[in-house]
């Protein structure tokens, strides 16, 4: 290090921003990190800016994750809503990651911007228990209506059926 | 609750479609297929709840989940006035087996066996997108050997053919062209026979794996592929006589289940449904992966957005796939079929007999799997049904921390209420068929 083989740049590069939200790069893919307050306004701007298709909306539960890199100014929370947008005209993709705290697992719905997020938000509600404000019909979609818990949360254990071996003593 | 009580409690509660008087205006709008959010002025004009007949003149019936034309266990609740469909609500989840949760318990090496079972009609595309996501996380996506890349393309295109052939079969059966069902399955079987020769299995191959493919192509593969390529054009011409040019067929499909480009985009649909509306969006051309930028093919686009366009797109996409496969046959290079990276590739069988280290390596890689650097990535490819995406979050361990598959059918099914509105019950069958949903992928 000290012999100058790797020059460490001490001046921090200015944080790239998009519509006032920090932007990071994940394996060559652009990721925007808005806060919950900025979320809908940012999505509206992205939609107006050509991202006409909402390809995917999902979530992740970072309860047992060993630590992830987030841009400065973004506090890690337990849940993260991940939205993948596609711009048809420029053939471009962008990803939006929003932190959602465990104490208040709600976030605004994108239904008014992309009606196609309806089923995806229901799936996130079903699997993670995040509720979406403004969603027309927030019910379970994959699990039965009377199911307890939200299966893709990390503290929801997968069931196991004990294997019994014939003739064993224990 | 006891299991007996469970058996009798078969309704889905709040997931079901309810009477108009019980639900919000927003939900009714969605169920009658008003999907577009327009300017306030336009919305005021069109966004009104349509003045349909009173509740005592309509009835809500179930179509499915056991209905043969729902392609699996799709359940539609339809509000009917006589023969006319007023509202529609798809209810899914009957095939849900928690595959995304299962995926978190399987190593990256085993993950292929899981994802390949989601869209069971195009298993190789599922494996491909999963492998591409893992390779991107590993940072080896540009080091995959040429032969493996071309092999992946070959299998992916043949899979597109087999999937579209099955669509032609089931579409024919749904509309009463029962002989078409036999022909479609027959031709698909030829393709599956080739898959069996290459991968050992007709379906659920787990053949495309992170780092390359599982094995090299078998001897005589080129003749087998050529046989398929030479057989298909004649058969497709027969389908044209049997269906495309036939007045009854056109009557049943043209103008049925119409959707506009704006609506299709707003709903997030992709694949033949989006292309039928005139939007030329094909990830193979627009965001090329593998070597799709090195082959020549046309993106088939419709103009009316009806069920006939979606049928015609698929039958012509088989022709384009034939064109692509001919080019792949010319381009197929010699060489490795998987990356020579000790980290992700198990040692060859012969080495295990001679080398202790190879044996240990083999044991470790199959029991523990390989570690993937921390990060998250989304990769997407064009499956026969549209954009299939794979979102993986890694925490640096040998298993995905979170794996999510963006299933094209799951999103495309949302277009059903819109396509159904105002049509006849008999057309509902044609509309479901034209979406070509695979319920294994919808419910995962």
Mind listing the pLDDT tens digit for each residue in B348-390? 888 888 888 888 888 888 888 888 999 999 999 999 999 999 9
- Burial pattern B54-73, b for ≥16 Cβ within 10 A else e, equals eeeebebeebbbebebbbbb
* Cross-chain Cβ contact A60/B269 below 8 Å: no
Contact (Cβ atoms closer than 8 angstroms) between residue B93 and residue B443:
yes
Q: In what order do the strands lie in the sheet with A21-26?
A: A17-18, A21-26, A29-32, A92-100, A79-87, A53-61
Nearest to A55 among B24, B406, B444 (CB): B406
Contact by Cβ (8 Å): B203, B191: no
Residue of B nearest to A85 (CA): B268
B41: confidence class by pLDDT, cuts 50, 70, 90: very low
Average pLDDT over residues B239-259: 89
Q: What is the pLDDT of residue B60?
A: 86
pLDDT at residue B406, as a whole number? 92
CB contact under 8 A, B98 and A151: yes
CA nearest neighbour of B420 among B407, B439, B433, B437? B433
Annotate B299-324 with b (16+ C-beta within 10 A) or e (fewer).
bbbbebbbbbbbbbbbbbbbbbbbbb
Task: Quote the pLDDT of residue B64.
Answer: 75
Confidence band for B58, pLDDT divided at 50, 70 and 90:
confident
**In this structure, is residue A149 part of a structural domain?**
no
Residues of A in contact with B88 (CB under 8 A): none
Query: Which residue reads 């009835």 in tokens?
Result: B59
Closest approach of chain B CAs to the CA of A18, in angstroms? Answer: 20
Closest among B266, B260, B274, B268 to B36, alpha carbons compared: B266
Nearest beta carbon to residue B266 from set A65, A114, A151: A114
For chain A, the domain total comes to 1
pTM: 0.87
Between B10 and B220, the higher pLDDT residue: B220
d(CA B120, CA B127): 11
pLDDT for B378 equals 93
Q: Which residues of B touch A86 (CB under 8 A)?
A: 387
Residue A116: which of B9, B93, B268 has the nearest Cβ?
Answer: B268
The phi, psi pair for B62, rounded to 5°, reads -95, 135
In a domain, A9, yes or no: no
Residues of B in contact with A84 (CB under 8 A): 378, 380, 389, 391, 406
Which residues in chain B have Cβ-Cβ distances shorter than 8 Å to A99? Answer: none
Residue B163 banded pLDDT, cuts 50, 70, 90:
very high
Contact (CB<8Å) B37/A115: yes
**Poorest-confidence range of A140-154, B1-15, B155-169?**
B1-15
CATH number of the structural domain spanning residue A73 = 3.30.460.80
Please tell me which residue of chain A has the smallest CA distance to B439: A142
Distance in angstroms (rounded) separating the CA atoms of residues B61 and A122:
23
In a domain, A74, yes or no: yes
**Nearest by CB: B266 against A26, A60, A115:** A115
> Of B227-231, B233-237, B335-339, where does mean pLDDT reach its minimum?
B335-339
pLDDT at site A85: 92
Of B12, B15, B380, the CB nearest to A55: B380
**Which H or E run includes B62?**
strand B59-63
User: By CA distance, what is A158's nearest residue in B?
Assistant: B101
| DSSP code at position B415 | G
Block mean pLDDT (10 aa), chain A, length 170: 51 73 86 90 90 91 85 85 91 91 90 88 91 86 84 82 65
Q: What is the mean pLDDT of chain B?
A: 86
Q: Sort out which chain B residues have CB atoms less than 8 A from A64's CB and list them.
A: 395
The larger pLDDT score, comparing residue B404 to residue B7, is at B404
Is B319:B161 a contact under the CB 8 Å cutoff?
A: no
Of all residues in chain B, what percent carry a pLDDT higher than 90? 39
Q: pLDDT value at position B7? A: 45
Tell whether A52 is within 8 A of chain B (Cβ).
Answer: yes
Does A158 fall in a domain? no
At B44 the pLDDT is 46
Q: What is the pLDDT of residue B4?
A: 47
Instruction: Evaluate whether residue A58 is within a structural domain.
Output: yes
Q: What CA–CA distance (Å, rounded) separates B323 from B332?
A: 15
Bridge partners (DSSP) of residue A132 are A107
- Cis preceding linkage at B65, omega within 30: yes
Domain range for A74: 17-133
Q: Write out B226-289 in H/E/C secondary structure.
A: HHHHHHHHHHHHHHHHHHHCCHHHHHHHCCCCCCCHHHHHHCCCCCHHHHHCCCCCCHHHHCCC
A5 inside domain:
no
User: Which of these, B393, B265, B398, lies nearest to B343 by C-alpha position?
Assistant: B398
Sort out which chain A residues have CB atoms less than 8 A from B413's CB and list them.
119
Per the domain annotation, does A73 fall within a domain? yes
User: According to the 3-state scheme, what is the secondary structure of B319-339?
Assistant: HHHHHHHHHHHHHCCCCCCEC
* pLDDT at residue B369, rounded to an integer: 85
CA gap B395, B374 in Å, rounded: 5
- Domains and their CATH numbers in chain B: 3-91 (no CATH), 142-368+414-443 (1.10.645.10)
Q: Which residues of B touch A69 (CB under 8 A)?
A: 374
Q: Which residues of B touch A158 (CB under 8 A)?
A: 98, 101-102, 105
- Over residues B282-286, the mean pLDDT reads 90
**Which of A28, A64, A91 is the closest to B287 by Cβ?**
A91
Report pLDDT digits (tens) over B67-124: 777 777 888 888 888 888 888 888 888 888 889 998 998 999 888 899 999 988 999 9
- Kindly list the distances between the CA atom of residue B129 and the CA atoms of B64, B134, B285, in Å, as whole numbers in the listed order: 31, 9, 16
Q: Across-strand partners of B212?
A: B209, B338
């Amino acid at each position: 290090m000290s012999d100058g083989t790797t020059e460490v740049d001490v001046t921090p590069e200015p944080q790239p921003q998009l519509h006032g939200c920090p932007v990071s790069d994940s394996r060559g893919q652009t990721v925007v990190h808005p806060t919950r307050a900025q979320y809908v306004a940012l999505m509206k701007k992205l939609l107006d800016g050509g991202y006409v298709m909402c390809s995917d909306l999902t979530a992740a539960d970072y309860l047992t994750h060993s630590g992830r890199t987030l841009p400065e100014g973004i506090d890690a929370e337990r849940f993260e809503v991940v939205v993948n947008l596609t711009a048809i005209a420029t053939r471009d993709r962008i990803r939006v990651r929003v932190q959602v705290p465990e104490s208040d697992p709600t976030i605004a719905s994108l239904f008014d911007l992309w009606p196609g997020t309806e089923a995806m938000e229901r799936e996130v509600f079903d699997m993670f228990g995040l509720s979406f404000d403004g969603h027309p019909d927030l019910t379970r979609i994959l699990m039965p209506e009377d199911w307890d818990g939200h299966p893709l949360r990390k503290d929801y254990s997968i069931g196991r059926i004990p294997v019994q071996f014939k003739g064993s003593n224990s | 609750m006891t299991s007996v009580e469970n058996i009798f409690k078969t309704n889905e509660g709040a997931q079901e479609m309810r009477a108009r008087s019980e639900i919000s205006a927003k939900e009714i709008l969605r169920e009658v297929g008003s999907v577009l959010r327009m300017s306030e002025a336009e919305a005021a004009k069109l966004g009104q709840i349509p003045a349909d007949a009173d509740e005592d003149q309509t009835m809500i019936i179930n179509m499915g989940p056991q209905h043969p034309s729902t392609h699996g266990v799709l359940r539609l609740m339809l509000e009917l006035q006589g023969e006319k469909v007023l509202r529609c609500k798809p209810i899914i989840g009957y095939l849900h087996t928690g595959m995304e949760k299962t995926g978190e318990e399987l190593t990256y090496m085993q993950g292929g066996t899981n994802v390949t079972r989601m869209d069971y009609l195009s298993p190789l595309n599922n494996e491909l997108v999963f492998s591409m996501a893992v390779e991107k996380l590993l940072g080896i996506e540009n080091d995959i050997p040429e032969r493996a890349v071309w092999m992946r393309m070959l299998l992916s295109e043949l899979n597109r053919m087999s999937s579209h052939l099955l669509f032609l079969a089931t579409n024919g059966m749904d509309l009463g062209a029962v002989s078409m069902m036999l022909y479609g399955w027959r031709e698909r079987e030829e393709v599956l026979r080739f898959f069996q020769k290459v991968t050992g299995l007709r379906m659920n191959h787990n053949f495309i794996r992170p780092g390359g493919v599982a094995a090299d192509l078998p001897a005589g593969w080129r003749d087998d592929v050529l046989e398929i390529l030479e057989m298909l054009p004649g058969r497709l011409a027969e389908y044209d006589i049997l269906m495309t040019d036939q007045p009854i067929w056109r009557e049943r499909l043209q103008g049925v289940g119409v959707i506009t480009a704006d609506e299709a985009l707003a709903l997030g649909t992709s694949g033949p449904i989006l292309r039928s509306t005139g939007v030329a969006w094909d990830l193979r051309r627009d965001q090329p992966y593998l070597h799709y930028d090195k082959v020549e093919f046309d993106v088939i686009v419709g103009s009316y957005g009806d069920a006939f366009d979606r049928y015609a797109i698929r039958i012509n996409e088989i022709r384009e796939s034939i064109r692509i496969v001919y080019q792949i046959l010319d381009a197929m290079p010699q060489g490795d079929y998987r990356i020579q990276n000790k980290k992700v590739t198990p040692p060859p069988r012969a080495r295990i007999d001679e080398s202790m280290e190879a044996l240990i390596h083999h044991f470790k890689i199959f029991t523990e799997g390989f570690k993937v650097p921390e990060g998250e990535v989304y990769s997407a490819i064009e499956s026969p049904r549209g954009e299939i995406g794979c979102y993986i979050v890694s925490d640096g361990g040998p298993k995905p921390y979170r794996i999510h598959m963006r299933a094209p059918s799951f999103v495309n099914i949302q277009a059903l209420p819109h396509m159904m509105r105002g049509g006849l019950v008999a057309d509902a069958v044609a509309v479901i068929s034209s979406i070509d949903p695979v319920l294994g992928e919808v419910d995962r």
